[in-house]
Amino acid sequence: MQLVVTGATGFIASRLIAEALSRGHQVTALARDPDGVAPRQDSRFVVEKWSIGDPLPAVAGADAIFHLAAYIPADFGDAHQAARCFEVNTNGALQVAMSAAAHGVKRFVFFGSGQVYTPAAEPALETSPTFPVERASYYLASKLSAEICLLAFGAANAMPVTVLRLASVYGPGMHATGMLPTFIRALASGRSVVIRDGGRYRVDLVHVDDVVSLALAAVEKEKAGVFNAGSGEACNSSDAARIVAAALGAEPTLVNIEGEREGKTMIGFAALNVAKAVEQLGYSPRSLREGIEAWKAETGLGDFG
C-alpha cells in the first residue's frame, strides 16, 4: 500500500514508518524538519517538508494517511495555550482530512488520547463517558474535538476514519521524561527510586510497537471507528518500578515506597478496555514486563544515558 505519515520525526511515527516499510508498503513521510527524519536506503520511502496548514504534497490516491502531527503545549495548565491547541489539533487535523479527501486518499487514521475518558475504577470502553477536566484539559479537549470533527467529516464524505485512543506509550525512541525513563535512569545506575504517593498512581502503559501494529491492522483490515490502544491493564507506579528493576537486574530494595498506600481518590488514569481491538483487529498487546524485556533486548535500555 501507499501510506502517508505526518509528524514523521516523532517517537511513534518513526516506529510506524520502519514497520510499514518492513511489511513492503510505500511510505511518504511529512515533517517540518525533513533532516530530522531518520534516513533510510529504500526506494519506497520519500520525505517531504510539510507543516500543518500547508497544502499536502503529492499524495494522490494514497491508501491511508496516518495523522500524528500535533501541538503539545509546554505547560498543560496554561489557558493561553488553548487557542493554539484547537487551531492545530482540531482545525488543523480537519484541514488535513479535507485535503486528503480532495487528493483521493482512501482512509484517515487519527492518533488521539486514551486520557480523554472520565476517571473511573473500571477499564474504559470506547463508549465510556469522556470529560477530560482532571489534567491537560485544553490539549485533551482539542484532541477529542478533533475526533468528533474527523468522524463527522468522514461519514459525510465517504472517507473511512479510524481513531486510535492511545494509552501512555513507551519504548525505544521515547522522550527522556516521564515515569519509566526516570525509573530506568536511576535503577540502571544503582540509584534508588523513591515513590512518594504510596505507589497509587496508575496508568495503562502500552509498548509503541503494539500501537504501530494496531494502526497498520486498521488500514490493512479496512476497519473504521474508535479503538482503544492500550495494554488493557492499569499498572501502578510501584509495580512499574519493580518490573523495571527486575528487567535490569537491579536490587528490589532500590524501590522505596513512601506515603499513603490506600486512598479513596484514584490517582492517574484507568486502564483501556481493548476487547474491541482484539476482536476486530487481532490486537494482542504485551504486558509491561514483556514490553520492558523487548526494549532491553533491542537497546539495552540505554536510550537515556
Q: How far apart are CA 203 and CA 115, in angstroms?
A: 9
- Could you state, in chain order, the average pLDDT of each consecutive group of 10 residues for the chain (305 residues)? 97 97 97 92 94 91 97 96 98 97 97 95 96 95 98 97 98 92 94 91 96 98 98 95 95 91 74 98 97 93 68
Number of domains in the chain: 1
The domain that contains 13 carries what CATH number?
3.40.50.720
Assess if residue 118 is contained within a domain: yes
Cα separation, 285 vs 231, whole angstroms? 5
Question: Which domain range does residue 150 map to?
Answer: 2-166
Q: What angle do CA 135, 11, 252 make, to 5 degrees?
A: 75
pTM: 0.95
What is the per-residue pLDDT for 137? 96
Is residue 175 one of the residues assigned to a domain? no
115 occurs within a structural domain: yes
pLDDT given at position 270: 86
Residue 223: inside a domain: no
Whether residue 142 lies inside any domain: the answer is yes
Judged on CB neighbours under 10 Å (0-12, 13-18, 19+), 113 is buried
**All three cell numbers of 18:** 520502519
**Nearest CA-CA partner of 36 in 25, 45, 44, 47:** 47
With beta carbons less than 8 A apart as the criterion, state whether 167 and 203 touch: yes
Pairing of strands 225-229, 255-257: unpaired
Is residue 304 assigned to a domain?
no
Terminal alpha carbon distance of the chain = 37
